[in-house]
């Protein structure tokens, strides 16, 4: 499984070698030299998969819904890649409980590739890793790539920017409807799902969403539909799939299509730069005498953080501006 | 309320001029020139307030608990600053429903200063703004600064790194205990609160937490205590305050004290640099012909994002490395 060159590794992945793809993902996880070169060789072959982000609060039944969507697309004969993201620990770099049990039924389906991803720390690395792995799943020839994230914080918002279509899953009766809606999800959702729609309060949740949509200052060209599902009983999944399809048609015909794609590209570029610079600065602060002294001076309040940041930017970044392997 | 110089504005704030402080916070919000200079002049006068972060899932009763802590510290005659952070919309830059109703009882108390903060977008700006405002609240002479955040994602984790003591609020019976614990909170908590401890399942939540603590690979020098509260009835708040106090003593006597302070300073420096570089890159991608062409090329998959990021770093950052006004 060693390849003579990144181009050879990319060719194997494009030819359907799943082990080569899994190996590349591990190398990307560990930021091993050469991984980015392989990814770059794959990049021209990406852009064919339909990328669907699925997010929502813990307990909303996202994993079950994701499993149902996998089943739905498999019945249509499509190949499905899944990226399950755990924004877990900033310290241990891994999830305590990483596996999504309900997806295990697809573990032996050669047309379903499931990958878990834990956070890479606080440097924006999670959205970089997400982007990287989505590119690999795309290049592997999956027709659909599902990205499932835990929670609705800024990290999830960054992650779902990778997706063509973002599905936000709510659940009635948790008592935090309004707080969840505050957390930015109203504006990242292309489609709302009210899951567990057989529970009391489903009508109220749908009504709350409709009410908030009318409050939005700017009426967008796409009004996110609200789909009711009971994922545990596989109800409403076809409706959801139809809305995803309708959103895909919107994306390819909308006058905002190019702007959306460009915003996404600019976001990806900015994220890579921020991460690279953040790593350079961290390394400089930790591994040089000048950097360590600067940290001590800020801690003692002899130097303020703004001046220190200016110094770190000037000193650290020119020394290590290499993003490419 | 206009000051001849940043030093004059800082002097007014240090002398207790609340309107000058509020004005500085608005200027910081809008990133108005001169605001950072005033902040820098305040910086040597910071470091006296006890900074307490309070985080947890929506619906856990954090706001009520925060209000109870304010009441507790007020009874002790302490001055309290509060920063309520809404990591809300990446687009509108503001929370839909920003006010914490339960804190309103302190609106007329001159010894309580409450400030709301919404997200500044995806560039790490939220933790910068948090740091900035905590510095102002600290310089104003507040004995305690409470930072309350919504949720437990990466953004909240970044925010609570500003705090001396981080309180993570859980609630029994939401059915998402394990998922919440996955989200990195085990390792950021200095103190756990099981709020609504009169509900069924409180014992199980406490037991789950204890079990997970024993699973942690590295036994830390501080084992986060677990405090039960019923904030709505003001029960357990004195216990929580005592544990916060005990943690404060630990912080000043622990052999890891200096390392903790230095890690925090390094994190703040790195965050400022990342944000500044991110803004430079975004501006360059948006406002220059070369930047716009690069985005178009990435969108068309003629250039891969890694090469584009390298180009953006090389082109954009040297043109605008100014962090200071």
Q: Whole-angstrom Cα distance, residue B252 to residue B250?
A: 6
Q: Whole-angstrom Cα distance, residue A65 to residue A69?
A: 6
Beta bridge pairs of residue B117: B85
Q: Which residue among B40, B119, B183 places its CB closest to the CB of A306?
A: B40
Tokens representing A102 are 């309900």
Cβ pair B281:A298 closer than 8 A? no
Percent of chain B with pLDDT over 90: 39
On chain A, the residues whose CB falls within 8 A of the CB of B265 are 295, 298-299, 305, 308
Beta bridge pairs of residue B208: none
B174 near B208, Cβ under 8 Å? no
Which CATH number does the domain A47-254 belong to among 3.10.129.10, 3.40.50.920, 3.40.50.300, 3.75.10.20? 3.40.50.300
Q: What pLDDT shows up at residue B126? A: 66
On chain B, the residues whose CB falls within 8 A of the CB of A6 are none
Tokens representing B201 are 């399942």
Q: Which residue among A266, A306, A323 places its CB closest to the CB of B323?
A: A306
Residue A126 has pLDDT above 70, yes or no: no
A70 against B161, higher pLDDT: A70
pLDDT band for B318, please (50, 70, 90 cuts).
low
Cβ within 8 Å of A, B 140-159? 150-158
Q: How many residues does chain A have?
A: 325
B13 against B181, higher pLDDT: B13
Chain segment B276-296, per-residue pLDDT in tens = 888 889 889 999 999 999 999
Mean pLDDT (whole number) for B180-208 = 80
For B47, name the nearest residue in chain A, comparing CA atoms only: A301
Q: Whole-angstrom Cα distance, residue A206 to residue A194?
A: 7
Q: What is the pTM of this model?
A: 0.73
Cβ pair A301:B47 closer than 8 A? yes
pLDDT band for B99, please (50, 70, 90 cuts).
very low
Chain segment B139-155, per-residue pLDDT in tens = 999 999 999 886 656 66
A18 against B150, higher pLDDT: A18
Cβ pair B323:A317 closer than 8 A? no
Question: Does any CB of chain A come closer than 8 Å to the CB of residue B27?
Answer: no
Beta bridge pairs of residue B53: B147, B166
Tokens representing A89 are 């620990």
**Helices A257-287 and A237-253 sit at what angle, rounded to 10 degrees?**
100
Q: What pLDDT shows up at residue B92? A: 34
Q: What pLDDT shows up at residue B102? A: 63
Mean pLDDT (whole number) for A59-77 = 91
**Helices A237-253 and A62-75 sit at what angle, rounded to 10 degrees?**
80
- Rounded (to 5) percent helix, strand, coil in chain A: 55, 15, 30
A67 near A163, Cβ under 8 Å? no
Q: Whole-angstrom Cα distance, residue B255 to residue A89?
A: 24
Q: Whole-angstrom Cα distance, residue A69 to residue A64?
A: 9
Q: Whole-angstrom Cα distance, residue A242 to residue B253?
A: 61
Q: What pLDDT shows up at residue A171? A: 84
C-alpha closest to that of A275 among A120, A125, A119, A121: A125
Residue B90 has pLDDT above 50, yes or no: no
Q: Which string of b and e fits B67-97 if b means at least 16 CB within 10 Å?
A: bbbbbbbbeeebbbbbbbbbbbbbebeebbe
Top-ranked range on mean pLDDT: pick from A166-175, A235-244, B25-34: A235-244
Least confident of A156-165, A174-183, B237-246: A174-183
Chain segment A163-179, per-residue pLDDT in tens = 899 998 888 865 544 44
Q: What pLDDT shows up at residue A238? A: 96
CB neighbourhood size of B178 (10 A): 12
Q: Sign of the C-alpha dihedral, residues A59, A61, A64, A69?
A: negative
Q: Which residue among B43, B154, B178 places its CB closest to the CB of A155?
A: B154
Chain segment A23-35, per-residue pLDDT in tens = 999 888 777 778 8
Chain segment A187-222, per-residue pLDDT in tens = 778 999 999 999 888 888 888 788 777 766 555 678
Which residue of A94, A95, A259, A266 is the best one to mutate when testing the B interface, meaning the one whose CB has the most B CBs within 10 A?
A266
Residue A153 has pLDDT above 70, yes or no: no
Residue B183 has pLDDT above 60, yes or no: no
Cβ pair B96:A186 closer than 8 A? yes
Distances (CA, A) of B195 to A169, A171, B57, B235: 26, 22, 11, 9
Place of tokens 């009520």: B64
Cβ pair B183:A215 closer than 8 A? no
Beta bridge pairs of residue A84: A116, A148
pLDDT averaged over every residue in chain B: 81
Question: Does any CB of chain A come closer than 8 Å to the CB of residue B232?
Answer: no
CB neighbourhood size of A44 (10 A): 13
Residue B121 has pLDDT above 80, yes or no: no
A1 near A20, Cβ under 8 Å? yes
Chain segment B54-64, per-residue pLDDT in tens = 988 767 888 88
Question: Does any CB of chain B come closer than 8 Å to the CB of residue A290?
Answer: no
Q: Which residue among A96, A301, A321 places its CB closest to the CB of B313?
A: A321
Tokens representing A10 are 């990319």
B194 near B229, Cβ under 8 Å? yes
Q: What pLDDT shows up at residue A118? A: 67
Q: Which string of b and e fits A174-203 if b means at least 16 CB within 10 Å?
A: bebbebbbbbbbbbbbbbbbbbbbeeebbe
Which residue of B184, B219, B220, B259 is the best one to mutate when testing the A interface, meaning the one whose CB has the most A CBs within 10 A?
B184
B146 against B267, higher pLDDT: B146
The three-class DSSP label of residue A113 is strand
pLDDT averaged over every residue in chain A: 81
Least confident of A288-297, B145-154, B191-200: B145-154
For chain B, the structural domain boundaries read: 1-45, 47-254, 264-319
pLDDT band for A308, please (50, 70, 90 cuts).
very high
Q: What pLDDT shows up at residue B107? A: 76
């Amino acid at each position: 499984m060693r390849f003579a060159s990144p181009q050879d590794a990319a060719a194997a992945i494009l030819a359907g070698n799943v082990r080569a793809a899994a190996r590349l993902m591990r190398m990307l996880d560990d930021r091993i030299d050469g991984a980015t070169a392989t990814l770059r060789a794959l990049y021209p072959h990406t852009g064919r998969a339909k990328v669907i982000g699925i997010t929502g609060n813990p307990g909303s039944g996202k994993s079950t819904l994701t499993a149902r969507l996998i089943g739905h697309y498999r019945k249509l004969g499509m190949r499905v890649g899944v990226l399950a993201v755990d924004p877990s620990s900033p310290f241990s770099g891994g999830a305590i409980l990483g596996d999504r049990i309900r997806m295990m039924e697809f573990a032996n389906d050669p047309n379903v590739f499931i990958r878990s991803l834990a956070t890479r720390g606080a440097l924006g690395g999670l959205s970089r890793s997400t982007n990287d792995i989505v590119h690999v799943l795309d290049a592997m020839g999956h027709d659909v790539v599902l990205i499932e994230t835990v929670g609705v914080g800024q990290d999830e918002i960054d992650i779902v920017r990778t997706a063509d279509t973002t599905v936000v899953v709510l659940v009635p009766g948790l008592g935090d409807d309004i707080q969840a809606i505050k957390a930015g999800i109203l504006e990242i959702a292309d489609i709302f799902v009210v899951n567990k729609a057989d529970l009391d309060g489903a009508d109220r949740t749908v009504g709350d969403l409709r009410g908030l949509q009318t409050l939005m200052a700017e009426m967008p060209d796409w009004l996110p539909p609200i789909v009711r599902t009971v994922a545990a009983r596989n109800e409403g999944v076809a409706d959801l799939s139809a809305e995803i399809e309708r959103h895909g048609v919107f994306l390819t015909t909308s006058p905002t299509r190019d702007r959306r794609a460009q915003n996404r590209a600019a976001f990806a570029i900015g994220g890579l730069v921020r991460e690279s610079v953040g790593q350079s600065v961290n390394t400089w602060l930790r591994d040089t005498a000048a950097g360590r002294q600067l940290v001590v001076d800020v801690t003692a309040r002899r130097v303020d953080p703004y001046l220190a940041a200016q110094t770190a930017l000037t000193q650290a970044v020119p020394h290590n501006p290499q993003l490419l392997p």
